Amino acid sequence: MADTTPFYITTAISYPNGKPHIGHAYEAIAADVIARFQRLQGRTVRFQTGTDEHGLKMARKAEEQGRSPRELADEMSGYFRSMCDALNISYDRFIRTSEPDHHKASQAIWQAMEAKGDLYLDRYEGWYSVRDEAYYDESELVEGEGEAKLSPQGTPVEWTVEESWFFRLSNYQQQLLDLLASPGFLEPASRRNEMIAFVEQGLRDLSVSRTSFDWGVKVPGSEGHVMYVWVDALTNYLTGLGYPGDMGNFWPASLHLIGKDIVRFHTIYWPAFLMSADLPVPQKVFGHGFLLNRGQKESKSLGNVTDPVALAERFGVDALRYFLIREVAFGQDGSYSPEAIVSRANGELGNAFGNLAQRTLGFIAKNLEGNLPAIHTHDATDTALFEAVDRALTQDIPQAFDNLALQQAVEAWLQAVFACNAYIDAQAPWTLRKTDPERMETVLATLYICIAQLAVAICPVIPASSSKLLDMMGVPEVLRTIDGIRSHWYSGLAESGYKIAAPTPLFPRLELPAEAD
Ligand code: ME8
């Protein structure tokens, strides 16, 4: 039986202290692929992304620029939203943590934690990294140049002393260990040991409010305190569902998709806040790897920061989406370069899949006046091809997507594309046209059906190209699901008198501009 339970997926919400970078695009695309795949399977999906606008990092950046944090957030959040729109990200809500419903939700979870007796007022004295918006224990710090102390992420830390509310994180040690040990909660499993070790060395209570600045959600009933930015940031996942009102049936979240640097916040702090507020914890947190530019971290000082929207404009949205999912083993770090994008796009999308469609549809348009060929009798080679494509469509691809093995899903698809190419070469419809026109028709019809199925199977990754192809082929929207495209739609379409026009190329050949070194 197909799983029809609701599926709630979220990305991290990004700090809008600058414009989006390729890592933000990567996370949004990966989440979108998963969301679209779940919809394809027939599940009701809710997908949330957005911007994380409070905290010292935002306040300081705004100050540097001589404007208010709100102005900075308004401008930069707009870039994140347009990046999502440009990359065809099918979010249901783009949340901004400066929105009133989010302040309300954050105050409600605060009050629930307070009612539990998990919050108390004290004084924080310790290290804080503004870049990570994180507190660090002295023992975690590493030596930087000179006398400088750095966070384990290599960011500067500053000594901080202020009155603060504390959350009794220490109360949740055992429950968190049990959660981290439960299979499937934190993936990839390789990230689990680090978190378990962190909890095992003993959890200290967490400072959850700040008094030295006011850009944040006000702590209810505590003049001068704003919430520690991660308390409100994590709560965004509830806000979007209507918390503290009825959240429907989307909570607990099916998947929080985040990068490897913020696993601690999502698998230790967040579940503890939820346990304290008597809310269920998310089903899964997946910490993906980092994307590197030719193996190097992007940074302003190296001058290698890439604007993802410009990249999509240069190579095409679907080529970029396909490349990122195909190239990187999901969960590990990956690297990109213009040459690598061009090579995958031309080789796999253009030559393997695009040409298959072009040859088949073009042949029908030209030689059959666009009339869909009739199926006469299928032979064993046709059946073998149908079976290979069906296995990819119903087993290999969905299983890989379900396991978040996104790269493997694309590989399984590509194998099925190769099988179609081997079939067309072996059957040679251009020869059959003279020797056996009936067989030619059957071969073309077989390919037509398989190509439509392959278009549906890959639509989570290249949604626009997939729709364009299915539109050209006259496949109605209602059939564009795994079940729909396996039904016997072909003869109906052929008999309806549908005519195919000469196809326009799906994946224009990409060239590397001379300036790409
Ligand atoms: O961490 N490659 O925001 P953020 C891949 N506001 N992913 C990357 C990356 C890279 N090079 N660089 C960053 C925050 N990311 C918080 C999140 S959630 C309640 C609050 C990922 O803008 C990063 O791991 O620094 C995170 O998942 C996301 O981009 C946003 O990062």
Are 281 and 176 part of one and the same domain? yes
Dihedral angle computed from the Cα positions of residues 221, 110, 124 and 179, in that order, rounded to the nearest 10 degrees: 170
For a mutational test of ligand 1's pocket, the pick from 11, 83, 274, 290, i.e. the residue with the most ligand atoms closer than 8 A to its C-beta, is 290
Residue 513 confidence (pLDDT) above 80: no
In this structure, is residue 243 part of a structural domain?
Answer: yes
In this structure, is residue 124 part of a structural domain?
Answer: no
Q: What is the pLDDT of residue 302?
A: 73
Report whether residue 238 contacts ligand 1, using a CB cutoff of 6 Å.
Answer: no
For a mutational test of ligand 1's pocket, the pick from 262, 265, 273, 304, i.e. the residue with the most ligand atoms closer than 8 A to its C-beta, is 262
Interatomic CA distance for residues 44 and 33, integer angstroms? 15
Q: What is the pLDDT of residue 298?
A: 80
- Which atom of ligand 1 is nearest to 270's Cα? 19
Report whether residue 454 contacts ligand 1, using a CB cutoff of 6 Å.
Answer: no
Q: What is the pLDDT of residue 305?
A: 83
Residue 94 confidence (pLDDT) above 80: yes
Q: What is the pLDDT of residue 145?
A: 84
E strand or H helix that includes residue 231:
helix 229-239
Are 387 and 250 part of one and the same domain? no
Residue 1 confidence (pLDDT) above 70: no
Report whether residue 52 contacts ligand 1, using a CB cutoff of 6 Å.
Answer: yes
Pick the more confident residue, 167 or 306: 167
- Which atom of ligand 1 is nearest to 290's Cα? 2
Between strands 158-167 and 119-129, the pairing is: antiparallel
Report whether residue 263 contacts ligand 1, using a CB cutoff of 6 Å.
Answer: no
Are 210 and 105 part of one and the same domain? yes
Q: Take atom 7 of ligand 1 and give the residue whose Cα is closest.
A: 23
Structure token digits, residue 73: 């957030």
In this structure, is residue 408 part of a structural domain?
Answer: yes
Q: What is the pLDDT of residue 8?
A: 98
For a mutational test of ligand 1's pocket, the pick from 13, 22, 27, 155, i.e. the residue with the most ligand atoms closer than 8 A to its C-beta, is 27
CATH code of the domain containing 418: 1.10.730.10
Are 247 and 341 part of one and the same domain? no
Query: Is 300 buried (19+), middle (13-18) or exposed (0-12) by CB count in 10 A?
Result: exposed
User: pLDDT per residue over 52-89, tens digit each?
Assistant: 999 999 999 999 999 999 999 999 999 999 999 999 99
Q: Take atom 19 of ligand 1 and give the residue whose Cα is closest.
A: 234
In this structure, is residue 148 part of a structural domain?
Answer: no
Contacts 24+ apart (CB under 8 A), 259-263: 259/12, 259/23, 259/27, 259/287, 259/288, 259/289, 259/290, 260/191, 260/287, 260/288, 260/289, 260/290, 261/132, 261/153, 261/290, 262/12, 262/287, 263/186, 263/191, 263/194, 263/195, 263/287
Are 284 and 341 part of one and the same domain? no
Residue 144 confidence (pLDDT) above 90: no
Residue 391 confidence (pLDDT) above 70: yes
Name the phi and psi angles at 118, rounded to 5: -95, 0
Structural domain count of the chain: 2
Residue bearing tokens 């600045």: 213
Interatomic CA distance for residues 505 and 468, integer angstroms? 10
Interatomic CA distance for residues 270 and 251, integer angstroms? 14
For residue 259, CA distances in Å to 14, 21, 128, 474 come to 11, 13, 21, 40
For a mutational test of ligand 1's pocket, the pick from 97, 258, 273, 304, i.e. the residue with the most ligand atoms closer than 8 A to its C-beta, is 258
Q: Take atom 29 of ligand 1 and give the residue whose Cα is closest.
A: 24
Residue 12 confidence (pLDDT) above 70: yes
CA 22 – ligand 1 centroid, Å: 10
CA 259 – ligand 1 centroid, Å: 6
User: pLDDT per residue over 194-218, tens digit each?
Assistant: 999 999 999 999 999 999 999 999 9
CATH code of the domain containing 48: 3.40.50.620
Interatomic CA distance for residues 487 and 490, integer angstroms? 8
| pLDDT category of residue 514 using cuts at 50, 70 and 90 | low
Chain mean pLDDT for the chain: 96
Give the residue numbers spanning the domain of 12: 7-118+168-288
Q: What is the pLDDT of residue 295?
A: 83
Coil/strand/helix, residue 123? strand
**Percent of the chain residues past pLDDT 90, beyond the cut:** 94
For residue 407, CA distances in Å to 45, 190, 250, 402 come to 22, 18, 27, 12
Q: What is the pLDDT of residue 515?
A: 58
Q: Out of 138-152, 460-474, 485-499, which region has the weakest mean confidence (pLDDT)?
A: 138-152
Q: What is the pLDDT of residue 516?
A: 47
Are 262 and 406 part of one and the same domain? no
Query: Is 2 buried (19+), middle (13-18) or exposed (0-12) by CB count in 10 A?
Result: exposed
Are 424 and 365 part of one and the same domain? yes
Name the phi and psi angles at 483, rounded to 5: -65, -45
Residue 129 confidence (pLDDT) above 50: yes
In this structure, is residue 123 part of a structural domain?
Answer: no
Are 343 and 265 part of one and the same domain? no
In this structure, is residue 355 part of a structural domain?
Answer: yes
Side-chain-side CA neighbours of 354 within 13 Å: the count stands at: 19
Q: Take atom 31 of ligand 1 and give the residue whose Cα is closest.
A: 14
292-313 mean pLDDT: 86
Are 361 and 481 part of one and the same domain? yes
Report whether residue 98 contacts ligand 1, using a CB cutoff of 6 Å.
Answer: no
CA 514 – ligand 1 centroid, Å: 32
| pLDDT category of residue 304 using cuts at 50, 70 and 90 | confident
Are 253 and 352 part of one and the same domain? no
The pTM score is 0.97
In this structure, is residue 127 part of a structural domain?
Answer: no
In this structure, is residue 417 part of a structural domain?
Answer: yes
User: pLDDT per residue over 177-195, tens digit each?
Assistant: 999 999 999 999 999 999 9
Are 259 and 345 part of one and the same domain? no
Residue type, 40: L
Are 105 and 225 part of one and the same domain? yes
